[in-house]
Amino acid sequence: MIIDGRALARDILAETKLRAEALVRRPKVVALVGSETPATKSYLKIKSARAADAGCDFEVRPYPSPYEDASAVIVQLPLAEGVDANAACDALPLEKDADVLSAAARERFEKGEGGALLPPVVGAVKKVLEVGGVEVVGKRAVVVGRGFLVGAPVATWLKQQGAEVSVVTKETADLFEALSAADIIVSGAGVPNLITPDVLKQEVVLIDAATSESNGIIAGDADPACSEKCALFTPVPGGIGPIAVACLFENAVTLAERQTGGFSF
């Protein structure tokens, strides 16, 4: 099965919009921006469009700016040179941190506390596995990359679900041996064509959560030909990326609901 991430994202956003429309006030998501690169502008344009699909208002403000009026706040990385991105993210109040970037929000997630939000990429991986009917408990999972946005949180979540998890990097000596034994692979290394069909076992679940550029073309870690050996495969582009953005706004609406419903964070 090749996952159509755009279609799944549309479904998530449609459900999220219904929840947003049931609120007394339309949720407002504020993006704090400190570095307006072409890539940043592109990401913000996409997020603005998806916010509307989710029934949210979306506003871009320079970092730092006040955001008391916002239901949710995101720090659009990277920030300007010399700005401590960790400090900027950690300053986000728990009740407004839709991206789960602050230390407080990440700690709640890592401890598996009730009510903890999932980081958007983790939410996307969860939804893909649900759509594919993939049972995680007892499976051998390999996560490629240790990054803060993909590798680390995905590995944590898979362990929470009962998988046997190994975290490897592109430099790991036995990388291909680990991949060949995996039942589930989630890759976020950012190395085009790092994973090829010959290192995969038949019917593996391969979730490509990486985005990089190869000869001017957006690419993931997995050679597209890998899909022929996979029970479930997410392409790049059009796979995890759109779903993660949808999960971001799903989180934002959840925070807006909690703010109006008296939920204790």
Q: What is the CATH number of the domain that holds 75?
A: 3.40.50.10860
228-241, pLDDT tens digit by residue?
999 999 999 999 99
* Lowest model confidence (mean pLDDT) among 15-24, 58-67, 208-217: 208-217
State whether 145 and 76 are in the same domain.
no
Residues 185 and 126 in one domain: yes
Same domain for 168 and 86: no
Residues 248 and 98 sit within 8 Å (Cβ to Cβ):
yes
Say if residue 250's pLDDT is above 80: yes
- 236 in the same domain as 125: yes
What is the chain's mean pLDDT, rounded? Answer: 95
On whether residue 194 sits in a domain, the answer given is yes
Model confidence band, residue 263 (pLDDT cutoffs 50, 70, 90): low
Query: Is the distance from CB of 31 to CB of 58 less than 8 angstroms?
Result: yes
| pLDDT tens digits, one per residue of 87-128 | 999 999 999 999 999 999 999 999 999 999 999 999 999 999
The domain boundary residue, chosen from 79, 95, 111: 95
Confidence of residue 170 (pLDDT cuts 50, 70, 90): confident
The verdict on 237 and 175 lying in the same domain is yes
- Whether 67 and 95 have beta carbons less than 8 Å apart is answered as no
Q: What's the CA gap between 181 and 145, in Å, rounded?
A: 17
Report if residue 255 sits inside a domain: no
* Residue 133 and residue 87 in one domain: no
- Three-state DSSP at 29 gives strand
In a domain, 248, yes or no: no
Q: Are residues 124 and 235 in the same domain?
A: yes
Instruction: Say yes or no: 138 and 89 in one domain.
Output: no
Q: What are phi and psi of 235, to 5 degrees?
A: -80, 165
User: In the prediction, which pLDDT does 260 show?
Assistant: 87
251 is a domain residue: no
Q: CA separation (Å) from 33 to 88, 90, 98? A: 11, 16, 15
Domain hosting 129: range is: 120-241
Measured over the CA atoms of residue 209, residue 210, residue 213 and residue 219, the dihedral's sign is negative
pTM: 0.95
Q: Look at residues 95, 111, 128 and tell me which one is the last residue of a structural domain.
A: 95
Pairing between β-strand 212-214 and β-strand 217-219 as defined by DSSP bridges: antiparallel
How are beta strands 72-76 and 28-33 bridged, if at all? parallel
Q: How far apart are CA 43 and CA 25, in angstroms?
A: 26
Whether residue 49 is found in the same domain as residue 89: yes
Is 189 domain-assigned? yes
Judge contact between 240 and 232, C-beta under 8 A: no
Considering the domain boundaries, does residue 165 fall inside one? Answer: yes
How sure is the predictor about 262, in pLDDT bands with cuts at 50, 70 and 90?
Answer: very low
d(CA 241, CA 9): 9
**Tell me, what CATH number does 196's domain have?**
3.40.50.720
Q: Structural domain tally of the chain?
A: 2
